Structure 1
Amino acid sequence: MTSETPPLLKDILGPQALATIADAGALVSRRFDRAAFLQAASDGLDTLSIMERVRHIADALSTALPADYGRAIEIVRAMAPRLTHGFQAVAVTEFVARHGLADVETSMDALADLTRFGTAEFAIRPFLAQDSARTLAVMAQWSRHDDEHVRRLASEGSRPRLPWAAPVPVLKADPTLAAPILEALKRDPSAYVRKSVANHLNDIAKDRPDWLVDRLTQWPRDDGRTAWIIRHALRTLIKQGDARALALIGVGHGAAAEVRRFSVVPQAVKLGDAIAISADIVSNAPGTERLVVDYRIHYARAARKSAAKVFKLRTFDLGAGEAVTLGIRQTIKDFSTRRHYPGTHAVELIVNGQTMARAAFDLLEG
């Protein structure tokens, strides 16, 4: 039996996507030059990554649209509802970022409209870099918009560490600049928006942990929507065992619980195999205790070095004298962001921020 090779992410913006974008342009305006777009967009496409294709397609649109930006953007906005995939919309929206910096008002209106069909989180970045104060002021207005997609753009587009996006120097220097936007969204009814707010705050945690904890300490935890954001915003600090972050979610630093058994089996694996991690935990506390249990793998690296990564296991309440068995399986395989090397991989069990047990497994050659 043969297995199919999974499609590459960049192929989302392949020839079929170009045809769809070209058809959308031709359908909404006789001034859209379909042939010119397809020729420019197809040229050199094969060698480009997904985000390079986004920018390439945006520039190809400029060959097919009127030279006047106002007229061109009207066509772009009319095209968006006819697209069939979010990344097609991202590519079309990128036209605004690459060709609309001189007309901020028109471009901001366009991004608020276009984000509904994919996302304008990447296209907003050049405007933030050009004039952060003006752009953040508009995004603050978006945080009160009726459409959840526009509200999410206010948070997601201003993230200090937005994945795949161009960095914004002012946000790197002060990742808290969008705090008023996050304040406006801390009770948002949309889970789509709340997830973005939590991710934005988690970005800040990596540079300004004290600021983050101080701010979240002031947020109401009796509101389920806000409490959810707080928990997810603190995930990096909780993995690091930060005592103040743990306290914010009702967890003490360290625990009265005892780890009776901790194991990783098998003790030797090859790439593609799975390990089983399990632990028996018994409470020695006089009452119910909330436990945050994670595990840390110290991945072997070249030159006898290692790199650690923390994984979530479970958060739960354990009553006085109670016992629980926890377990998880993890396949040891390469990712684009992680390559595995042969050698000993230490594994730690972390309970409420403290390492309470250790084990290891060996990754074999071949």
Structure 2
Amino acid sequence: MADLFKNLYSQKFFEALTDALQNVLEHFDKQQFLREIYNSEWEELELKQRMHHITTILTNYLSSDYPKSIEQIEQIIIWLRNNRVEDKVKYPDLVFMIFPHYIELNGLHDFKTSIRAFETITPFSTCELAVRPFIIKYEDKMMNVIQKWTAHPNEHVRRLASEGCRPRLPWGMALRRFKHDPTPVIPVLEALKQDDSAYVRKSVANNLNDISKDNPQVTIDIATKWKGHSKNTDWIVKHACRTLLKAGNREVLELFGFGAPEHMEVRNFSITNDRISVGDDLEFSFELYNHSNESILVRLEYAIYFLKQKGHHTRKVFKISEKKYASGSSTTISRRQSFRLVSTRKYHSGEHYVSLIINGSEFEEAAFTLQT
């Protein structure tokens, strides 16, 4: 997957980019530009490194006058849009983050020009990473701008308001101040919680989920306040609490109707193949019995305890379902867990464990052996 992502900077991407540069920049030397791009280190660079490298080279071809260079970038984007770059390049929103990155590298000194550029560029390529140094340097000033963005007519700018101030944005620098105290972020989320765009509402949920990792009670209090307000806020609240639900937080589980599971019983939990190799699927099954005299809402999950290199185990929770089980019902459930090679996980030979989780409480556990 890492190779796939870095190769998004493909021949087709550079054809589109250099065509745009030739049409906007006077005396642009396409061959020289490509020679500088494909230097001796290019093949070893990962996606973000390639993005930075391209932006650094591009800087030398744009005007040294920062406001003028932003005008050039805006003209380049207009040319790319007019020539339907989305039909030629995969993930244009991602690969053209070279333009927001240019602002991040070169525009921190010119707040006014950069803010205007964020508004015009983010509908083409998201500026969520690039705004973060501005938040760190100009916190009060920048958060005032972000609050205004929550009422912007363009959904991409409204999403930027939420996404840009996430405390733990993936790929982006952490906002340590907001990890410690997310208070400045809350008015932004309040302003967007009823947004018409699902794209924006998902960002609000992700921001709250970030907050839950450092300040769980803040997210719980907001979830309690927002739940039941509307269908849209209910979706935000549920998505925002996903980390707390997986962690088995009792207050959050009860907020969504998942009570203590004392009337649920696991029977006949078994692993079909307790010795597997990398590339195989772990198969297991069990029966879930409700011996109460009423139906019970159940959040059903399982956890895999992955063996690490130093001999300890790390736990990862996987959701099976959320549903009601009728009084006296007995349900047979089977699952497969893939152990195919993925770039985000390294497997180690030895004993692993799988356990069942009902409404946040772990029940049965069984061991299996993985051979790498």
Task: Mark yes or no: TM-score above 0.5.
Answer: yes
1:152-207 superposed Cα distances (whole Å, 9 cap, x missing partner): 11111111111111223322332443111111111222221222111111111111
Give the counterpart of 1:113 among 112, 120, 124: 120
CA contact (8 A) 2:283 2:334 kept: yes
Give the distance between the partners of 1:258 and 1:15, measured in 2 at CA: 58
Q: Which residue of 2 is the match for residue 47 of structure 1?
A: 44
Q: CA deviation at 1:7?
A: 5.0
Letter in 1 for 2:168: R
CA contact (8 A) 1:275 1:330 kept: yes
Q: Which residue of 2 is the match for residue 77 of structure 1?
A: 74
Which is further off, 34-43 or 144-153?
A: 34-43
Q: Please state if 1:171 is matched with 2:167.
A: no
Q: CA deviation at 1:334?
A: 3.2
Give the distance between the partners of 2:229 and 2:109, measured in 1 at CA: 45
Q: CA deviation at 1:332?
A: 0.6
CA RMSD of the aligned region, Å?
2.0
Q: Please state if 1:359 is matched with 2:366.
A: yes
Give the distance between the partners of 1:107 and 1:61, measured in 2 at CA: 17
Letter in 1 for 2:6: K
Give the distance between the partners of 2:163 and 2:285, measured in 1 at CA: 37
Give 1:255-270 correspondences, 5 Å limit.
255-270=262-277
Moved over 6 A (4+): none
CA contact (8 A) 1:347 1:358 kept: yes
Q: CA deviation at 1:312?
A: 1.1
Aligned CA distance change for structure 1 residues 139 and 363 (closer, same or farther; 3 Å): same
Q: Which residue of 2 is the match for residue 27 of structure 1?
A: 23
Aligned CA distance change for structure 1 residues 195 and 328 (closer, same or farther; 3 Å): farther
Q: Which residue of 2 is the match for residue 62 of structure 1?
A: 59
1:1-46 superposed Cα distances (whole Å, 9 cap, x missing partner): xxxx995311112444233222112223437554554343333432
Q: Which runs of 5+ in 1 are unaligned?
A: none
Q: CA deviation at 1:239?
A: 1.1
Letter in 1 for 2:54: I
Q: Which residue of 2 is the match for residue 295 of structure 1?
A: 302
Q: Which runs of 5+ in 2 are unaligned?
A: none
1:126-145 superposed Cα distances (whole Å, 9 cap, x missing partner): 11121122112111111222
Give the distance between the partners of 1:91 and 1:186, measured in 2 at CA: 30
Aligned CA distance change for structure 1 residues 57 and 6 (closer, same or farther; 3 Å): closer
Letter in 2 for 1:90: M
Which is further off, 301-310 or 30-39?
A: 30-39
Under a length normalisation based on structure 2, what TM-score does the superposition of the two structures give? 0.91
Which is further off, 29-38 or 304-313?
A: 29-38
Letter in 2 for 1:51: K
Give the distance between the partners of 1:223 and 1:278, measured in 2 at CA: 38
Q: Which residue of 1 is the match for residue 95 of structure 2?
A: 88
Give the distance between the partners of 2:240 and 2:296, measured in 1 at CA: 22
Give the distance between the partners of 1:332 and 1:217, measured in 2 at CA: 38
Q: Which residue of 1 is the match for residue 13 of structure 2?
A: 17
Give the distance between the partners of 1:92 and 1:31, measured in 2 at CA: 20
Give the distance between the partners of 1:169 and 1:209, measured in 2 at CA: 16
Q: CA deviation at 1:63?
A: 0.7
Aligned CA distance change for structure 1 residues 324 and 145 (closer, same or farther; 3 Å): farther
Give the distance between the partners of 2:195 and 2:260, measured in 1 at CA: 30
Letter in 1 for 2:170: P
Q: Which residue of 2 is the match for residue 129 of structure 1?
A: 136
Q: CA deviation at 1:255?
A: 4.4
Aligned CA distance change for structure 1 residues 6 and 363 (closer, same or farther; 3 Å): same
Letter in 1 for 2:161: A
Aligned CA distance change for structure 1 residues 248 and 330 (closer, same or farther; 3 Å): same
Letter in 2 for 1:47: E
Give the distance between the partners of 1:315 and 1:31, measured in 2 at CA: 62
Aligned CA distance change for structure 1 residues 313 and 215 (closer, same or farther; 3 Å): same
Which is further off, 5-14 or 260-269?
A: 5-14
CA contact (8 A) 1:32 1:66 kept: no
Which is further off, 136-145 or 329-338?
A: 329-338
